[in-house]
Chain A
Amino acid sequence: MTKVLHLEAINRSFGDRQVLRDVTFDVTAGRMTGFVGANGAGKTTSMRIILGVLAPDSGQVSWQGSPLTREDRRRFGYMPEERGLYPKMTVRDQLVYLGRLHGMTLDGVRRKVDELLEWLSLGERGNDPVENLSLGNQQRAQIAAALVHDPDVLVLDEPFSGLDPMAVDTVVSVLREHTHRGVPVLFSSHQLDVVERLCDDLVIIADGQIRAAGSRDSLREAYAQRRFSLIVAGDAGWVRDLPGVALVDLDGPRAVFDLADDADDQVVLRAALERGPVRSFGPVTPSLAEIFREVAR
């Protein structure tokens, strides 16, 4: 059985408000799956349902083909949206405690905690109470808490918020290390540029419904319009007069335009060369932000 975490037709309401509608998607082994959506779209609710902290009204979460059990969940690593560790306990003590709760032996967990603290550059802070750490270091400790028991699946709600760029890189390399070992990783984020750089797969949710799901590249292809960017030596304003061209943006020598399905991009290039030197010409792939805006509309 492949290591896939699968959500099937999950519905959930709070009172009259339906927060999730038939939410269905996969988180596949060895891949980082980015979970993107506006505030209140249903990301956190979905994640809490995966972890068994919230019950679905209907639908099922399965792991490796069978419904999730408590024993499966004990092998999951979870970073909740609202962070929290015991403020007065030292980082080391609480990581050891959480590891033990997940069924690790004392020796095993001690070794693992040393390794994690080293990895996350928290080694010197290990014996400090969490409340004495800077926010960034508290965040690292929180990530360590999700990783301490070598989880089979990682579910991280906004793991990068509050991290400086260097810390983001540290965390990314730690997560990559887990996907290389075949662990499926689901993470949500508001920072679309981070998601874009990081994720292999993408799930886009809006108003409690999955609007798009699949590999990042296939989504890019699917949402790619025939958009091109052209930079010439002089003013590029003439492009708008060519047949089949819809100008998107014009800034002196730089033009971005969409082409009608029957128009030929090479015709535009030749026309440009006839007018003078061409500095750059090529297709524009949509950014995640653009796909997101398109899909979530």
Chain B
Amino acid sequence: MNTSSAIKLVAARELKVKIKDKTFLISTIFFLLFAAASTVLPAMLGGGASSVAVADSAAASTLRDKGLEVTQFADDASAEQAVRDGDVDAAVVTGGGDPKVLAMDEAPSDVVDALSAQPQVQLLNPDAVDPLLAYLVPFGFAIVFFFTSLTFGLQIAQSVVEEKQTRIVEILVASVPTRALLAGKVVAGGVLALTQIALIAAVTIAGVQFTDNGGLLSLIGPSIGWFIPFFVVGFVMLAALWAAAGALVNRLEDLQGVSMPLQMVVMIPFFLVIFLSDNKPVMTLLSYIPFSAPTAMPVRLFTGDAAGWEPVLSLGIMVVAAFALIAVGARVYEGSLLRTNGKISFGAAFRDKESRRLAEINN
């Protein structure tokens, strides 16, 4: 059997175990609901067209043409009563003269607009982003990357600790190369994480299309499209380090401490992107630092601050960083996996000679 079929077997087992895992199912469902809610709910709460009570039939047809929900009443008094009873949002009374809009506590802007002459409007910066979206979109990217990366990273680490804690690792290492074990775990974690964010992306896009704010999809689509490759590279870049963190300890209880630096590497960019998303120089810098690029670059693409070549360059930098970090992670993983007596320091595992001697005799 060769290494690639060993990787497939290891990855298949990890997938099988995780798919049955409640944490995975719950977090996936939570994110999907979150994505659906944040795209669909605002439109639904916005509440569509107002219902209007009207007596004058000329006014009624004008309002109907503007897409309002019109109910005709015999006279102005009964139309007014319908507003008081809460049967309709507003009433338009003519009283023989100019039309007047009646409402309870809030001026119904769509009714007012329908009755007034609109001046022509020309937007000089049609791409300008709705301020609410400008806040929500960075938050969305950051939270999805943060939670998914952290959840699946920790799961890789936990799965390594489990194998060490139960000592099944000795049986595994006696039959397949250590690198195949590591690669299998990273592949499985990556596939799960990617599936999760692809689902989230699909639901978000579907939600946006459903509520259809016209240009919103063309605005957010490309950044979601870029987010996926950024996410994949960003996740794989850290995955080997998560596995290494797991290999450094022998008990699940010790994992929290040893993985703290990694958690920071995921957490700090999360807060930076959320709090500094309107600071352009900082966001530009963040969009080139491999740890924050997966969120910062899609956000800059969304706000229209990044040129077309920028994500390509940033992704290139991340790929280089990923190769380096995977090499470090793999070396620490191999250097500590079979040490089952106590905790090992990162440095000691990195310098470990045993694993290289083993690799020699196992060739």
**A80–B358 contact, CB under 8 A?**
no
**B354–A54 contact, CB under 8 A?**
yes
Q: Does A174 touch B at the CB level, under 8 Å?
A: no
Known: A73-B174, A103-B1. A55 touches B168 (CB 8 A): no
A88 neighbours in B (Cβ, 8 Å): 17
- Pick the contact of B174: A78, A85, A100, A103 (CB < 8 A): A78
- Pick the contact of B340: A51, A82, A145 (CB < 8 A): A82
How long is the Cα–Cα vector from A68 to B170 in the complex, in angstroms?
A: 17
- Pick the contact of A53: B165, B173, B176 (CB < 8 A): B173
Chain A 86-117 interface residues, beta-carbon cutoff 8 Å to B: 86-89, 97-98, 100-103
How many whole Å from B352's CB to the nearest CB in chain A? 11
Apart from A55-B357, A78-B174, what 13 extra A-B contacts exist at CB < 8 Å?
A48-B170, A52-B361, A53-B174, A82-B170, A82-B340, A84-B166, A84-B167, A87-B162, A97-B9, A98-B171, A101-B1, A101-B175, A103-B1
Q: Is the interface of A mostly helix, strand, loop or mixed?
A: loop
Q: Does A70 touch B at the CB level, under 8 Å?
A: yes
Chain B 172-201 interface residues, beta-carbon cutoff 8 Å to A: 172-177
Q: Does B115 touch A at the CB level, under 8 Å?
A: no
**A73–B175 contact, CB under 8 A?**
yes
Q: Does A292 touch B at the CB level, under 8 Å?
A: no
B166 neighbours in A (Cβ, 8 Å): 84-87
Q: Taking CB as reference atom, which chain A residue is nearest B176?
A: A101
Chain A 165-205 interface residues, beta-carbon cutoff 8 Å to B: none
Give me the 10 closest cross-chain CB pairs, A-B, nearest first.
A84-B166, A84-B167, A55-B357, A103-B1, A82-B167, A80-B170, A51-B174, A84-B168, A70-B362, A55-B358
Known: A85-B166, A86-B166, A87-B166. A145 touches B363 (CB 8 A): no
Quick one: CB contact mask for B34-45 with A, threshold 8 Å, 1 for yes?
A: 000000000000
Which residues in B have some Cβ–Cβ distance to A below 8 Å? 1, 6, 9-10, 13, 17, 162-163, 165-177, 338, 340, 354, 357-358, 360-363
Q: Does A125 touch B at the CB level, under 8 Å?
A: no
A86 neighbours in B (Cβ, 8 Å): 17, 162-163, 166, 168
Q: Does A211 touch B at the CB level, under 8 Å?
A: no
- Pick the contact of A98: B6, B163, B175, B363 (CB < 8 A): B175
Q: Does A76 touch B at the CB level, under 8 Å?
A: yes
A103 neighbours in B (Cβ, 8 Å): 1
**A83–B176 contact, CB under 8 A?**
no
18 contacts between A and B (CB under 8 A): A52-B174, A52-B361, A54-B354, A55-B354, A55-B361, A56-B361, A74-B1, A74-B175, A80-B171, A82-B170, A82-B340, A84-B165, A84-B167, A84-B170, A85-B168, A88-B17, A97-B9, A101-B175
**A101–B162 contact, CB under 8 A?**
no
**A101–B6 contact, CB under 8 A?**
yes
How many whole Å from B184's CB to the nearest CB in chain A? 10
**B171–A78 contact, CB under 8 A?**
yes
B172 neighbours in A (Cβ, 8 Å): 101
How long is the Cα–Cα vector from A53 to B340 in the complex, in angstroms?
A: 12
B167 neighbours in A (Cβ, 8 Å): 80, 82-84
Q: Taking CB as reference atom, which chain B residue is nearest A80?
A: B170
How many whole Å from A45's CB to the nearest CB in chain B? 12
How many whole Å from B156's CB to the nearest CB in chain A? 15
How long is the Cα–Cα vector from A52 to B167 in the complex, in angstroms?
A: 15
**B363–A52 contact, CB under 8 A?**
no
Residue of B1, B6, B170 with most partner-chain A CB within 10 A = B170
Q: Taking CB as reference atom, which chain A residue is nearest B166?
A: A84
How long is the Cα–Cα vector from A68 to B174 in the complex, in angstroms?
A: 12
B176 neighbours in A (Cβ, 8 Å): 101
How many whole Å from A273's CB to the nearest CB in chain B? 61
Q: Taking CB as reference atom, which chain A residue is nearest B180?
A: A101
How long is the Cα–Cα vector from A102 to B168 in the complex, in angstroms?
A: 14
Known: A74-B1, A86-B162, A101-B176. A53 touches B17 (CB 8 A): no
Residue of A55, A83, A87, A103 with most partner-chain B CB within 10 A = A55
Residue of A48, A84, A101, A102 with most partner-chain B CB within 10 A = A101
How many whole Å from A242's CB to the nearest CB in chain B? 57
How long is the Cα–Cα vector from A145 to B363 in the complex, in angstroms?
A: 24
B175 neighbours in A (Cβ, 8 Å): 73-74, 98, 101-102
Q: Taking CB as reference atom, which chain B residue is nearest A103?
A: B1
A83 neighbours in B (Cβ, 8 Å): 167
How long is the Cα–Cα vector from A145 to B175 in the complex, in angstroms?
A: 12
How many whole Å from A109's CB to the nearest CB in chain B? 11
How long is the Cα–Cα vector from A205 to B220 in the complex, in angstroms?
A: 71
B1 neighbours in A (Cβ, 8 Å): 74, 101-103
Chain A 112-135 interface residues, beta-carbon cutoff 8 Å to B: none
Quick one: CB contact mask for A123-153 with B, threshold 8 Å, 1 for yes?
A: 0000000000000000000000110000000
